[in-house]
Amino acid sequence: MGELLLNTPKRKQLLKDGRPVSTRCQILGRGAYGTVFKAIYRDRSVAVKIIRAQATSTLHNESHLMNLQHRNIVRLLKLESAVEFGLVIMECPRGQCLQRIVDTLALPLMHRVLITLDVVAALRYCHSQNVLHLDVKPTNILVALGIKSSGVGNFSKVKRSYICKLCDFGSSIEMGELCARQDPTNANGTLRYMSPEVLRSDILSEASDIYSLGITMWQLQARRLPYHPLDCNETIAYQVVKHELRPDNYHQLKILALDCPGDSNWNDVMYRGANSSARRNLSLDPSYTAGRGDLKKKCRRNRLALHFDSNGPAPEASACLESAYSNLYKSCWVSAPESRLSSFQLKHELELILSPQK
């Protein structure tokens, strides 16, 4: 119930007419160029993104996922296009996007590190295949729940019941491919996570993805929308490029918020109270029901907490380890791409943080 059956006639109809009329179809998420629905394809549960054909670049970018097969990347099963619409059919693991988890739980440092290591592994693989993702953020990281998984690398004794998968390659490019971004505020990707070189339309590299991951790491710790006091994307882009504004510079953000009358009230600083239109819900939890009641929130929090306390509560991180984590994301978002940590260096430093918590 609530799932599209993607047989051949139905796919042809979707390619012609776009999103289904039925209100019973379960929507997993909405983006600028299309909507994601829960569906059945070849007797398996999948997610299908229906994209308007005018967004030809998005369909082209999604095709980069076709040859990528990695445990930390959502698998693309089929891509079809027609005159009016295109279909992107992907695996649909049981779980939630990282954004919803951050909205619900304060993640212990150990899990923030494990999540980041999963994303680093996905990016390292993408980069080895000459693909840049260019839209790394919590809404594009799916946390598949209920999967018994060991830690990474030398940390096989660290047990957990989830694995993270990078998704949404609608902004991806092949390395060396021209990426015209005449107006950064209308570009593919998400401005609050874009590196200075992306905003300037410069030549891009692996470092551009590392920058976005650094912003994401900060968000996992702070649980706030990047640059949360500001609504004006033009202001954010200018300040990031010209004055090296970063989301942890609360003093500068407060001054800018006071100078920009259209921006958010500084007192509205908690992430869950920030501009909700600036984030998308790509929850892949079929049991999730939207609701604001305290009981529903508590139940959802308790259900999620089970996956992040599978072996009892994670050990509390020391101030020293939290500081090390902060220093890492700051090393990822320096302005000069060549001065940022490489994915190999980031992986190594994250593993050092994890070592005392084994």
Compute the residue count for the chain. 358
Q: What's phi and psi for 199, nearest 5 deg?
A: -65, -30
pTM (two decimals): 0.84
Q: Decide which of 44 and 150 is more confident.
A: 44
Look up residue 286 and give its two tokens: 């079929």
The stretches of 226-334 forming alpha helices (DSSP H) are: 233-243, 250-259, 294-308, 319-332
What average pLDDT score do residues 76-103 get?
A: 92
Quote the pLDDT of residue 76. 95
Structure-token match 């308790």, residue found: 302
Output b/e per residue, 20-37; b: 16+ Cβ within 10 A. Answer: beeeebeebbebebbbbb
**C-beta pairs of 274-278 under 8 Å, 24+ apart in sequence:** 274/224, 274/225, 274/228, 275/225, 275/228, 275/231, 278/192, 278/225
According to DSSP, residue 334 is labeled: -
Going by pLDDT thresholds of 50, 70 and 90, the confidence category of residue 174 is very high
Domain boundaries, the chain: 4-91, 95-357
Name the strands in the sheet holding 95-97, side by side, starting at the edge strand that comes first in the sequence: 95-97, 141-150, 159-166
- The half-sphere exposure of 291 on its side-chain side, counting CA atoms within 13 A, is 12
What average pLDDT score do residues 19-46 get?
A: 83
Quote the pLDDT of residue 149. 66
CATH homologous superfamily, domain 95-357: Transferase(Phosphotransferase) domain 1 (1.10.510.10)
Look up residue 82 and give its two tokens: 């027609």
Q: Decide which of 219 and 67 is more confident.
A: 219
Amino acid residing at 206: E
Distance in angstroms between the alpha carbons of the first and the last residue of the chain: 43
Angle of helix 206-222 relative to helix 343-354, nearest 10 degrees, comes to 30
What average pLDDT score do residues 261-271 get?
A: 44
Examine the pLDDT at 267 and tell me if it is beyond 50: no
Quote the pLDDT of residue 157. 56
Quote the pLDDT of residue 314. 57
Cα distances from 266 to residues 145, 231, 262, in angstroms, run 35, 11, 12
Please name the CATH architecture into which domain 4-91 falls: 2-Layer Sandwich (3.30)
Q: Average per-residue pLDDT in the chain? A: 83
Q: Tens digit of pLDDT for each residue in 280-301?
A: 333 344 344 444 567 777 787 8
Going by pLDDT thresholds of 50, 70 and 90, the confidence category of residue 178 is low
Rounded to 10 degrees, the C-alpha dihedral 1/168/352/152 comes to 50
95-357 has the same fold as 4-91? no
Quote the pLDDT of residue 160. 85
Distance CA 197, CA 186 (A): 15
Going by pLDDT thresholds of 50, 70 and 90, the confidence category of residue 307 is confident
What average pLDDT score do residues 218-244 get?
A: 95
Going by pLDDT thresholds of 50, 70 and 90, the confidence category of residue 169 is very high
Quote the pLDDT of residue 77. 94
